[in-house]
Amino acid sequence: MAAFHEVRFPLRLALGVSGGPVRRTDIVNLSNGRENRNQRWRNARRAYDAGSGIRSVADLYEVMAFFEARRGELYGFRFRDPVDFKSCPPGETPAATDQRIGTGDGVTTGFQLLKTYADAGGSFSRRIDKPIEGSVIVSVEGVKAASSDLSVDHASGMVTFRAGRAPPAGAAIRAGFEFDVPVRFAIDRIDINVTAFEAGRIPSIPLMEILP
């Protein structure tokens, strides 16, 4: 991922965020009252506004400094979605069997972290590129893999089993983890408003997900 800094937007300022996944669907209304629908994007792209998390002059300065260090829209960074940041629901603890990320063939050693959203009607698998360091746990056919048997690239979300440790053919590889969303500022300007002594706000801080 080009032009990216492996730093996270201040977590306490992200708690007042609004936003979430965005999809693009073309809908054509037909003369008979029916419609045709076509999905323009295969993957959702998340968009956020972190402006509502700003409460004080100290918060204003922290965001301004972070914005300057990223040079506005130029460099991406990590952002924790306040609702969707684990391999499991937010109130639960990640487990090594949470998400299926592949099936062994006795040869392949590299597996990309994935998170699948599914119900009786359908499913969608999302690539996870920015896992939290130290949070990834992996299982092979339901048995937790030793950390010495694999490595995790926390900048790409790739799990790699060491030489001689490739999962056997047919074995289900699953993982549990916490993760960030790779984003960038969606503006090249920060408008600061000091509303009172030691209080201030930034009306809008739009953030846009960076897709791989």
Residue whose token pair is 């979300």: 157
List pLDDT tens digits, range 24-73: 888 889 888 899 988 888 889 999 998 777 777 888 889 899 999 999 99
Q: Is the dihedral of CA 108, 114, 118, 123 positive or negative?
A: negative
Question: Quick count: other Cβ atoms within 10 Å of Cβ 35?
Answer: 9
Q: How far is CA 204 from CA 17, 58, 90, in A?
A: 10, 17, 26
Non-local (6+) Cβ contacts of 58 within 8 A are none
Residues, the chain: 212
Q: How confident is the model at residue 195 (pLDDT cuts 50, 70, 90)?
A: low
Give the alpha-carbon dihedral of 60, 62, 68, 74, to 10 degrees. Answer: -100
Q: Tens digit of pLDDT for each residue in 3-27?
A: 999 999 998 877 778 899 999 888 8
Q: What pTM does this model have?
A: 0.89
Type and span of the H or E element at 143: strand 143-144
- Could you tell me which of 177, 21, 159, 154 has the C-alpha nearest to residue 86? 177
Among 140, 79, 76, CA closest to 108? 140
Q: Is the dihedral of CA 92, 93, 99, 101 positive or negative?
A: positive
